[in-house]
């Protein structure tokens, strides 16, 4: 990636994080997308603790969008087991399109509210 593209995403990320904060009642569902993998974390920003995490490591036989759907289902399942019902979605500077959207839709179908 070019540095301009990375710098643009980081600017957008900080602009989003000004308004999106996770609490104990509504933690933040943060998404990180690399070229090969996608990662999701449910974070309580007040304590700085990650409550739940899921990634596409080990799902490399699937297409990227299918990997994202599986990660969304997995993070929703783990969050429900941890007692988290609703979250605040943090797209982390990425466009709400493609893999990020697939992960969010799968998490909603898994029972998370945001």
**Sign, CA torsion 42/107/91/24:** negative
Q: How confident is the model at residue 38 (pLDDT cuts 50, 70, 90)?
A: very high
Overall CATH class of domain 3-109: alpha beta
- Using a 10 angstrom Cβ sphere, with 0-12 exposed, 13-18 middle and 19 or more buried, the burial of residue 33 is buried
Q: What is the pLDDT of residue 1?
A: 60
Mean of the pLDDT values across residues 37-43?
Answer: 96
User: Where along the chain do its domains lie?
Assistant: 3-109
Q: What is the pLDDT of residue 39?
A: 98
**Residue 101 CA: distances (Å) to CA of 15, 44, 45, 46, 81:** 19, 22, 23, 26, 23
Model's pTM, two decimal places?
0.89
Rounded Cα gap, residues 31 and 39, in angstroms: 6
Q: How confident is the model at residue 60 (pLDDT cuts 50, 70, 90)?
A: confident
Rounded Cα gap, residues 6 and 44, in angstroms: 26
pLDDT tens track for 68-94: 999 999 999 999 999 999 999 999 999
Name which of 1-5, 45-49, 75-79, 105-109 the model is least confident about.
1-5
Q: What is the pLDDT of residue 44?
A: 94
Place of tokens 């990320």: 13
């Amino acid at each position: 990636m070019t540095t301009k593209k990375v710098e643009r995403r980081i600017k957008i990320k900080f602009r989003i994080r000004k308004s999106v904060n996770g609490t104990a009642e509504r933690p933040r569902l943060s998404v990180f997308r690399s070229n090969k993998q996608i990662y999701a974390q449910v974070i309580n920003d007040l304590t700085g603790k990650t409550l739940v995490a899921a990634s596409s490591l080990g799902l490399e036989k699937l297409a990227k969008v299918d990997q994202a759907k599986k990660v969304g289902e997995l993070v929703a399942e783990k969050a429900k087991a941890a007692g988290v019902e609703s979250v605040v979605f943090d797209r982390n500077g990425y466009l709400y399109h493609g893999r990020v959207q697939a992960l969010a839709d799968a998490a909603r179908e898994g029972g998370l509210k945001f």
